[in-house]
Amino acid sequence: MSEHIVSSYEGQLKTLHSTVLKMGALCESQFSNSIIALVKKDEELVDKVIGKDERIDELEKKIDDQVVNLITLRQPMAIDLRETVSAMRIAAELERIGDLAKNIAKRVKHVKVDLNNGNFSLIKSASDLVQGNLKKTLDSYSKNDEKLALSVWSSDKEVDVIINKLLEDLLNHMKNEKKNIESLTHLLFIAKNIERIGDHSTNICEYIHFLIKGEDIKGNRPKG
């Protein structure tokens, strides 16, 4: 294979990697902004989150096209095939994260309770934890850091524990605050969306581990 062809092929792999990171950064921003909009009741920010969802879909399509092009035209070797297939799988997980962030934003206008009240502090704690894990996940993909990916995968139990406590608190509020039943119902769905974003982050970490090591993570994911 000529030096020119090798250089072109490596350039395409780097472009694919860069596109996945760009999609990841946008999803990270979407999730963060959806929570800010929720806490601040910022409907203008809600519109921005909803409006940018189409861009996430476009990036997923772009990644799929890049992967198909690499596989059909370049016939990649094993490690490069892992790179391309993992990119496509990660993009699918990121697309779901984008959808969940949009869903959180759509529920903002239905939440009338004050989330700065200490009774709802676990919403922010849960979202902060999951946002931190999502950032570490993207960092692990950027740096090919398998240990960082494993640390996020292992911390899924911590996410489960705080989400379960949050759901328990919300259900107790629903029993005692009938007038806020609609707001609290939407917060229940938001809590589950936050949990699902955490699940998608750990799924991505499994793909990163496979990309680097060529094998699945041994054992079952820790659950709370």
Contact 30, 94 (CB under 8 A): no
Question: Can you spell out the DSSP letters for 161-197?
Answer: HHHHHHHHHHHHHHHH-GGGHHHHHHHHHHHHHHHHH
Helix, strand, coil in percent for the chain, rounding step 5: 85, 0, 15
In the block, which residue shows the tokens 């800010």? 36
Burial of 195-214, coded b for 16+ CB within 10 Å and e otherwise, reads bbbbbbbbbbbbbbbbbbee
Predicted local distance difference test score (pLDDT) of residue 1:
44
Length of the chain: 224
Half-sphere exposure of 79 (CA within 13 A, CB side): 4
**pLDDT tens, 137-152?**
999 999 999 999 999 9
Task: Record the pTM.
Answer: 0.92
Q: Number of H helices and number of E strands within the chain? A: 7, 0
In the block, which residue shows the tokens 């996020």? 152
Per-10-residue mean pLDDT, the chain, length 224 = 57 94 98 97 96 97 94 73 92 98 97 87 95 98 96 92 95 90 96 97 96 83 66
List the structure tokens of 108.
């903002």
**Rounded alpha-carbon distances, angstroms, from residue 32 to 105, 142, 143:** 10, 20, 22
- Region of 112 (left: φ > 0; alpha: ψ -120 to 50; beta: rest) is alpha
